[in-house]
C-alpha cells in the first residue's frame, strides 16, 4: 500500500511503546501507514502525492480532552465571561454592560466568577446584582458550576423565598435574617435551569461548531463530553453533515439512565466519530463553594462536611442498574468522602462480578484519603482528572483542606500506584488549552511561577511524557478507543499535532510558550495547513 501524505524531517513522539520516536510518518487515507525514518517513509509516497517538510518541528498524537462540557463551553463563548475577574466591582461592571445591551426582562447568564480571589472572599449577594441589573433576571454560574449567583428578580421567578426549604442535595444560602442571599448551591439551582431557555437545535449546533474550531486550534481531536440531549443532538447533526472534526464520547446524564436502559444503549455504541460512553453521576459538590463531601470538616468550618448529592445507597443502586445494562459509570467525586463512597460502590460491583469489562471512571478525584490512592489500580477504576485544577485551586485547597492537600490532585501517586490516568480540562470551568494543562501537571505552578520553589506539592509532578500520555493514550483508553486513537501507530486514525517547540526538552516553565502550528484529523489538516 502506498501513502498519499508523508510528513518528514520531524521530531515525532509517537506514544507507541513499540517505536516511541520517528522522524517521519506516512499516511494513507485517514490512517497511519507507517512511522520511521525520512527515506523509508518517502519511499512509500506515490508520485504526485503530497509530502510536508516539518523542518524539525515536534509532533505528538492528537490530544483528547477526557472531561469537557462541550456545548456549555460553546455557549459560554457567548455569555458574560467572569473568568479571571479579579474584583467584585469588575464582575458587576460586566453585568451592568450586558444589561445595558439587553432588552428588559430577558435573562442575563454568565459564568466563571470566583469569590475566593476577591477581597474578603465572601459570597456575593442578590442585592449587588439588583443594583446593576434591576430589569433583568440574572443567573451567573460560579467557575466550578456548583454554585450560582442570582438576583432578586431571578429568585422571584424561581419561587424562592424565606419560606422555601432546601432541596435534597442542595442549599439556598441565607442572610442573617433568613432571606435568600442570592447564592444557590448544587440542586438548589434546579428551578433556574427549568426557567432558562434551552438553546434551539440550530443555536446548539452553531455553538458546538464554533467551539470545535477553537479546540482544533489547540490540537484537540477528541472530547468526552458530559451533557444532556441537546449536546448529543448537536454532535449528531455535525456528524450527519460531515463536519465533525472531534472524535466524541457522549456520556449519558443519570437522569436519563432509565430511558437509556429501555432503549438498550450500551457503552461503546457508535463509530469512530461519535459513540456512547457511560452514565454521568454526581456524588458531591465542589471545593470552591465548600460542597465537596468530606470525611472531616473543612478547615475553620467545624460543622461543614459538604453535600452528598448522591448518597451511598442510591449510588450502589445506580451502579448496579447501569452495569447490568452494559453501561459504565462515570462519577463526579471531589471530596475524600465522596471518592471513598464511589470506590466502595464500584468495589461491591466488582466483587459481585457485574460488568467486569466496563471501564468505570471517577471524574476529578480531587482529594483522596491516603488509604484510597491504591484502590483505583486495585479495582481498575480510571482516574479522569484535570491538571489545570491543581494550580488554579491550590490556594483554596490549602485554606479549606489544610494538610490534607498532600493528597489533592495526586497525579503522580495515582500513576505510581498503577492507576490509569486520563487528562481533561472541565471546560468551561477552566480553559481547554492542553498546553496549559501539561504545564500544570509538570510544574505544579501557575504561569506567574507561584507558589515558587519546586511547585505545589512537587512530589505529585509528572514528566512531560506521562502528561502527554494521559492526554492521548490514557484518554483514548478511557473512551474505549485505544485500538484506533492515542498514538502514532500503523493502522490507527491519522490524528496528530505539530508543536512550535519540543516540550519534552525545554525548561518546564517554557512549555507555556508553545504554539500549536497544525492539527491533523483523519489525515487532513483541520487547522494550520502546515507546510503550505
pLDDT, tens only, 420-473? 999 999 999 899 999 999 999 999 999 999 999 999 999 999 999 999 999 999
Is the pLDDT at 143 greater than 70, yes or no?
Answer: yes
Look over the chain and give the mean of its residue pLDDT values, rounded to a whole number.
95
Last residue of a domain, one of 136, 160, 195: 195
pLDDT of residue 227: 86
Dist CA 318 CA 234 (whole Å): 27
Is the pLDDT at 72 greater than 70, yes or no?
Answer: yes
Q: pLDDT band at 193, cuts 50/70/90?
A: confident
Is the pLDDT at 530 greater than 70, yes or no?
Answer: no
Last residue of a domain, one of 172, 195, 218: 195
pLDDT of residue 46: 80
Question: Is 516 among the domain residues?
Answer: yes
Is there a contact between 248 and 237 (Cβ–Cβ < 8 Å)? no
Question: Is 329 among the domain residues?
Answer: no
Is the pLDDT at 95 greater than 80, yes or no?
Answer: yes
Claim to verify: residue 109 and residue 37 sit in the same structural domain: no
Question: Is 152 among the domain residues?
Answer: yes
Is the pLDDT at 532 greater than 80, yes or no?
Answer: no
Least confident of 3-7, 115-119, 358-362: 115-119
Claim to verify: residue 29 and residue 89 sit in the same structural domain: no
Express each pLDDT in 224-246 by its tens digit: 998 888 999 999 999 999 999 99
Query: What's the rounded mean pLDDT across residues 209-236?
Result: 95
DSSP three-state, residue 458: helix
Last residue of a domain, one of 171, 195, 219: 195
Q: pLDDT band at 510, cuts 50/70/90?
A: very high
Dist CA 182 CA 167 (whole Å): 16
As to burial, measured by CB atoms within 10 angstroms (0-12 exposed, 13-18 middle, 19+ buried), residue 311 is middle
Claim to verify: residue 121 and residue 9 sit in the same structural domain: no
DSSP state at residue 221: E
pLDDT of residue 1: 85
Dist CA 6 CA 3 (whole Å): 7
pLDDT of residue 76: 87
Q: Are strands 108-113 and 80-81 parallel, antiparallel or unpaired?
A: parallel
Claim to verify: residue 102 and residue 159 sit in the same structural domain: yes
pTM of the full predicted structure?
0.88
DSSP state at residue 504: T
Q: How far from 262 is each of 74, 240, 257, CA to CA, in Å? A: 31, 25, 9
Claim to verify: residue 34 and residue 146 sit in the same structural domain: no
Q: Shortest CA distance to 267 belongs to which of 345, 186, 324, 220? A: 324
Claim to verify: residue 58 and residue 146 sit in the same structural domain: no
Nearest-5° angle of CA 13, CA 17, CA 20? 25
Q: CATH code at 22?
A: 2.30.40.10
Q: CATH code at 181?
A: 3.10.310.70
Question: Is 301 among the domain residues?
Answer: no
Claim to verify: residue 84 and residue 50 sit in the same structural domain: no
Question: Is 90 among the domain residues?
Answer: yes
Question: Is 9 among the domain residues?
Answer: yes
Is there a contact between 136 and 108 (Cβ–Cβ < 8 Å)? yes
Domain total of the chain:
2
Claim to verify: residue 36 and residue 80 sit in the same structural domain: no
- What phi and psi values does residue 80 have, to the nearest 5 degrees? -65, 120
* Residues of the chain above pLDDT 90, percent: 91
Express each pLDDT in 145-192 by its tens digit: 889 999 999 999 999 999 999 998 899 999 999 999 999 999 899 898
Query: What's the rounded mean pLDDT across residues 310-316?
Result: 97
Query: What's the rounded mean pLDDT across residues 261-277?
Result: 97
DSSP state at residue 130: H
Is there a contact between 385 and 423 (Cβ–Cβ < 8 Å)? yes
Question: Is 97 among the domain residues?
Answer: yes
Claim to verify: residue 188 and residue 88 sit in the same structural domain: yes
DSSP state at residue 67: E
Question: What are the grid coordinates assigned to 179, written together?
Answer: 432571606
Query: What's the rounded mean pLDDT across residues 333-338?
Result: 98
Query: What's the rounded mean pLDDT across residues 363-383?
Result: 98
* Residues of the chain above pLDDT 70, percent: 99
Q: How far from 366 is each of 163, 316, 499, CA to CA, in Å? A: 35, 21, 30
Claim to verify: residue 123 and residue 158 sit in the same structural domain: yes
Nearest-5° angle of CA 410, CA 411, CA 413? 70
Is the pLDDT at 48 greater than 90, yes or no?
Answer: no
Least confident of 48-52, 210-214, 283-287, 327-331: 48-52
Claim to verify: residue 142 and residue 84 sit in the same structural domain: yes
pLDDT of residue 531: 47
Claim to verify: residue 32 and residue 123 sit in the same structural domain: no
Range of the domain at 13: 3-62+496-501+512-527
Contacts of residue 334, Cβ cutoff 8 Å, sequence gap at least 6: 284, 285, 286, 287, 292, 293, 364, 365, 366, 367
Greatest CA span in the chain, whole angstroms?
A: 80
DSSP three-state, residue 74: helix
Query: What's the rounded mean pLDDT across residues 285-295?
Result: 95
Amino acid at each position: 500500500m502506498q501513502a498519499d501524505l508523508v510528513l518528514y524531517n520531524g521530531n515525532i513522539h509517537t506514544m507507541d511503546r513499540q517505536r516511541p520516536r520517528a522522524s517521519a510518518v506516512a499516511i494513507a487515507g485517514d490512517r497511519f501507514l507507517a512511522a520511521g525514518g525520512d527515506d523509508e517513509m518517502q519511499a512509500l509516497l506515490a508520485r504526485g502525492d503530497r509530502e510536508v517538510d516539518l523542518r524539525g518541528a515536534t509532533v505528538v498524537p492528537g490530544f483528547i480532552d477526557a472531561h469537557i462540557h462541550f456545548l456549555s463551553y460553546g455557549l459560554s463563548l457567548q455569555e458574560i465571561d467572569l473568568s479571571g475577574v479579579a474584583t467584585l466591582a469588575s464582575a458587576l461592571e460586566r453585568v451592568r454592560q450586558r444589561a445595558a445591551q439587553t432588552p428588559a426582562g430577558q435573562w442575563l447568564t454568565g459564568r466563571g466568577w470566583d469569590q475566593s480571589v476577591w477581597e474578603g472572599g465572601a459570597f456575593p449577594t442578590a442585592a449587588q446584582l439588583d443594583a446593576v441589573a434591576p430589569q433583568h433576571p440574572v443567573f451567573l454560574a460560579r467557575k466550578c458550576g456548583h454554585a450560582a449567583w442570582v438576583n432578586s428578580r431571578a429568585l422571584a421567578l424561581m419561587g424562592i423565598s424565606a419560606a422555601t426549604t432546601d432541596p435534597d442535595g442542595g442549599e439556598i444560602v441565607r442572610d442573617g435574617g433568613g432571606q435568600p442571599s442570592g447564592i444557590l448551591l448544587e440542586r438548589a439551582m434546579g428551578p433556574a435551569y427549568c426557567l432558562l431557555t434551552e438553546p434551539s437545535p440550530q443555536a446548539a449546533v452553531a455553538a458546538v461548531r464554533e467551539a470545535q474550531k477553537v479546540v482544533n486550534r489547540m490540537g484537540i481531536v477528541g472530547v468526552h463530553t458530559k451533557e444532556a440531549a441537546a449536546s448529543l443532538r448537536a454532535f449528531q447533526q455535525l456528524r450527519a453533515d460531515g463536519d465533525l472534526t472531534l472524535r466524541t464520547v457522549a456520556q449519558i446524564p443519570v437522569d436519563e439512565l432509565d430511558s437509556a436502559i429501555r432503549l438498550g444503549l450500551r457503552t461503546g455504541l457508535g463509530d469512530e466519530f461519535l459513540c456512547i460512553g457511560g452514565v454521568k453521576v454526581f456524588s458531591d459538590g465542589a471545593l470552591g463553594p465548600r460542597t465537596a463531601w468530606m470525611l472531616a470538616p473543612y478547615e475553620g468550618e467545624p460543622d461543614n462536611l459538604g453535600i452528598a448529592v448522591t448518597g451511598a445507597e442510591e449510588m450502589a443502586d445506580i451502579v448496579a442498574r447501569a452495569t447490568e445494562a452494559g453501561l459504565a459509570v462515570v462519577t463526579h467525586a471531589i471530596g475524600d468522602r465522596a471518592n471513598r463512597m464511589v470506590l466502595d460502590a464500584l468495589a461491591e460491583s466488582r466483587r459481585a462480578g457485574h460488568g467486569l469489562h466496563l471501564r468505570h471512571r471517577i471524574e476529578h478525584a480531587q482529594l483522596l484519603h491516603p488509604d484510597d490512592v491504591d484502590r483505583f489500580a486495585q479495582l481498575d477504576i480510571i482516574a479522569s482528572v484535570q491538571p489545570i485544577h491543581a494550580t488554579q485551586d491550590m490556594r483554596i485547597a490549602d485554606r479549606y483542606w489544610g494538610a490534607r492537600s498532600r493528597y489533592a490532585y495526586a497525579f503522580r501517586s495515582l500513576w505510581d500506584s498503577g492507576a490509569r490516568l486520563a487528562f481533561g480540562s472541565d471546560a468551561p470551568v477552566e480553559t481547554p488549552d492542553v498546553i496549559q494543562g501539561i504545564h500544570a501537571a509538570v510544574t505544579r505552578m501557575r504561569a506567574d511561577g507561584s507558589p515558587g520553589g519546586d511547585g505545589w506539592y512537587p512530589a505529585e509532578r509528572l514528566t512531560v511524557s506521562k502528561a502527554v500520555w494521559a492526554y492521548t493514550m490514557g484518554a483514548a483508553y478511557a473512551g474505549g478507543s485505544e485500538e484506533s486513537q492515542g498514538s502514532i501507530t500503523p493502522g490507527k486514525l491519522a490524528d496528530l499535532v505539530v508543536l512550535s517547540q519540543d516540550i519534552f526538552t525545554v525548561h518546564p516553565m517554557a512549555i507555556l510558550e508553545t504554539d500549536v502550528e497544525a492539527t491533523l484529523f483523519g489525515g487532513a489538516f483541520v487547522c494550520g495547513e502546515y507546510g503550505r
